[in-house]
Structure formats: C-alpha cells, structure tokens
Amino acid sequence: MIDTTRISTKERRLAALRGALREGSWRGAARMIAAMHPAEIASLIESLPAAQREVVWNFVEPEIEGDVLVEMSESVRQSLIDGMDADELLAAAENMELDDLADLVGDLPETVSLQLVKSMDHQDRERLKAVLSYEPDTAGGLMNVDTVSVRSDVTVEVVLRYLRMRGELPDKTDSLIVVTRDDRYLGTVALTRLLTEDPEKPVGDLLDPDAPRITPELPAHDVARLFQDRDLISAAVVQADGKLLGRITVDDVVDVIREEAAHEVLSSAGLADEEDVFAGVFPSTRRRLIWLGINLVTAFLAAAVVSRFEGTIEKVAALAALMPIVASMGGIAGTQTVTLIIRGIALGQVEWVNAKWLLWKEIAVGGLNGVIWAVIVGTVTIAWYGTWKIAAIIAAATLINLLCAAAVGVVVPLALKRMKIDPALSAGVILTTFTDCVGFATLLGLGALFLT
C-alpha cells in the first residue's frame, strides 16, 4: 500500500524548496536540501529549469553528490557532470556502493575514471571490473558483489557469532548465501531461521536449495519479472559453473520496473527514455524531429489514398465529412489492441505460440464492436443526410476498419518483436498508417462503386 502521508510530506517539502529558490532565500534552501534524501534531491533537480539546477546543485553536500547523481536521468546527470572538475567528481564517487558506482563510472570523463580506478584497493577494483564486464541491462550489470556467504558445515552459533563480529550487513540482506569452500553456490538461509533455530544445528540443514539463482546474462526485464513473481527481496547471481558472483536486491529491480514503465509511456509517443522535460528548445526539437517526419510520411500515404478518389469526393461531398469518423474509430480500436498486446509481451504472457488464439479473439471483438458501431453510425448518417446508401457505405467501412485494426494490433507488435524492434516504439505509427489507409480506401472505394 502507498504511504500517502509520506508522499504528501515530500511534496510539501519540494514545494517549500521551490518557494525558497524563487524568493532567493539561499540559506533556507540549503538547510532544506541538507535534510532531504539523495533521491528526493535528484527528483527536485530534474523538476527545475537548467539555470536553477546549478543553484541547487551547489547546495548539495559533497559526500552525497555521487548518490544524487546516480538517481538522476542520464541527460540531467551528464549536464551536471560536465560542470564539475576532476577533484569534485573523485570526491563524489569516493564513498559510493560498487553497484551504484558501476552505473556512474561510464558517464565520467575517461581521465577521472582511470584515476578513480587507480585509487581503489585491489579487491574493490576487481569487484568493479566484474560488474562492468556485463551489459548494464543484464543481471550481471545490476548485481552488487558485496555479499555475506557462509559454509554449510558450520553451525548456527558460529554464524551468529560471525555476524556479531562483522557488526554490519549490506542493505537489503534478508538471507545469507551458502557456498562451498571454493565459492560454489548451494542455496540460501533466511536470517529469521538463524535467529530461531537450534544453535548447534549445521547451516546445511537449514538452507533452501530451491532459492532462485540468476545467471549474469539474464536480461534485466526477466530479473524484474522473477522478483515480481516470487516476491523476492534479494537473489544470488551465479555463473553457469555454480560460482557465486554477487546478488541483486529489490531496490535495483524497482529501478528497472520504473525505467520500463517510463519507456513504455515515452516510446509510444516517439520520445527517448531519458527525455528531459526541462531541456532547452533546440535539443528537444532535435529529438522530436525524426518522429514528426515519420508521422508526416504516413500522413502522405493516407493522403495518397484519398487523392485517388478526388472525383468521388467532388461528386459526394458527404464522404469528406465522414472520413474522420472511419479513421478515428479504427485508430482507437487498434490502439486498444496494440496496448494490450504490448503489455502482454512485456509480462511474458504473449508469444507466437498463443498468438493465433489472440488474433481470432481480437478479430471477433473487433467484428462485434464493428457491427454495433456500424449500426449506430449508419443510423446517425441516415438522420443527417437522409440517404441509406451513404449510411450503408460508412457502416461497412467502419466494420472493415475495426476488423483490420484488430488484426494489425495483434500481428504488428509480435512481428516487430521477432525482428528485434521495440513494439512500443513503432507499433503505433504502423497501426495508424494501416487504419487510415484502409479506412479511407474502403469508404471512398465503396463510394466510387455505388454513388458515382
């Protein structure tokens, strides 16, 4: 359940800070920023125009600058990094967790990255190298190499004594990883079991051998799905030969889920995942030009279809007035189908193996909706123009376009996925082209046949 009280408090604090910035109360703004979590500071900075971002950034304590940077979108983070000198960047990265540092180090200038790696001890350098050896959108790229592992032959009492001596556990530690002497993964044992079991019992008697093990090459999307399905807090990352590499925690998975949600929303409009709301006019214009151009091409295709029937439109002007109705109905129906299919693909529910059933189901839904709305549109057309011929033509065009929209809505996303093209990015443009062209061609073609 969402803590609405906490959200309201956060919003009030952000609003108060924006007010302090407007009034020029720098001391009050600095005090407020010092009391905020790095993620809240990052959210605030992303909510400000570029000039004010620099002001707020100067109030951030140097020891948390790295934590704030890693919470930002790539474009905003890069703009701040570009304004920092080498010493400031090195200080910001000094106390960061290795998995967060791995996300940041690729954005740093090469000279700073090299200097940062040289300043690490051998163990941390090897750990960072291990994380960076995997793609960022894989389990290996998400993992944290800071793990607590124990052997199966030691007793619960020995483990508890070891934990007390250690004094601190990594964040989100809900279980310990059980390994052999050569770091081969055996399973996990929950901390709650360690606290309640007989101290003389061996850890091997308590471990869960079926605890999920994740291969480092597993895509981040599949990692997130596993955490959702199994309600996991953490999971071990294990090589094919059984060697333990690290672990993934739920906070990293939440970031993946959030990024995927943002990607789905933005890509449906042809925008980049890292689109900055407060970016300048020229960068924003440049990013959007390509999709506006693609949309223009599709509009010309629809116009080309219409131009083939100019004579029909001149003789039956009513068809020109009715054209938007057919295109709009097909576009909305197709968007509904495309949205459901893309969501099913994202959740792993829709594949080619069950696509045939879905195709016929959506065609049936489109047909039933088509019949219902064809009758309604035809009735309104008779009342409007007083002729059953035009009413019958637009009713038929509406039905055909809804059937086409249903078929395209299922086939196109799956085909794009098969071609390794993001369906969320391209399916909507293709769908609109199909429904406009089919709708116009059907309406005007039938008009040409029966009205001229």
Of 49-63, 256-270, 305-319, 330-344, which gets the smallest average pLDDT?
256-270
pLDDT at 371 over 80: yes
Three-state secondary-structure class, residue 380 = helix
The rounded distance, in Å, linking the Cα atoms of 81 and 148 is: 33
Q: Give the contacts of 77 (CB within 8 A, at least 6 positions apart).
A: 69, 70, 104, 107
Of 4-13, 147-156, 367-376, 396-405, which gets the smallest average pLDDT?
4-13
Q: What's the mean pLDDT in 384-394?
A: 89
| 5 band by pLDDT with thresholds 50, 70 and 90 | very low
* Helical spans, DSSP H, in 35-155: 38-46, 50-57, 65-70, 74-82, 86-93, 98-105, 110-119, 122-132, 139-142
Contact indicator for 426, 416 with CB cutoff of 8 Å: yes
Closest CA to 109 of 82, 149, 70: 82
Of 44-48, 178-182, 201-205, 212-216, which gets the smallest average pLDDT?
44-48
Query: What is the DSSP pairing of strand 185-190 with strand 175-179?
Result: antiparallel
pLDDT at 154 over 80: yes
Three-state secondary-structure class, residue 177 = strand
The rounded distance, in Å, linking the Cα atoms of 285 and 129 is: 38
Give residue-wise pLDDT tens across range 7-17: 556 677 767 77
Q: What's the mean pLDDT in 337-365?
A: 84
Query: What is the DSSP pairing of strand 234-238 with strand 213-214?
Result: parallel
Q: What is the DSSP string of 70-101?
A: HTS-HHHHHHHHHTS-HHHHHHHHTT--HHHH
Q: Give the contacts of 441 (CB within 8 A, at least 6 positions apart).
A: 305
Residue scoring higher pLDDT (22 or 224): 224
Domains of the chain: 4-136 (1.25.60.10), 149-250 (3.10.580.10), 281-450 (1.10.357.20)
Q: What is the DSSP string of 289-314?
A: HHHHHHHHHHHHHHHHHHHTTHHHHH
Give residue-wise pLDDT tens across range 259-302: 776 666 555 555 555 556 666 667 766 766 676 677 778 778 88
Of 108-112, 140-144, 254-258, 363-367, which gets the smallest average pLDDT?
254-258
- Dihedral sign, CA of 380, 381, 385, 391? negative
The rounded distance, in Å, linking the Cα atoms of 423 and 216 is: 26
Q: Where is 162: in which H helix or E strand?
A: helix 156-166
C-alpha torsion angle, residues 303, 304, 310, 313 (rounded to 10): -40
pTM for this prediction: 0.64
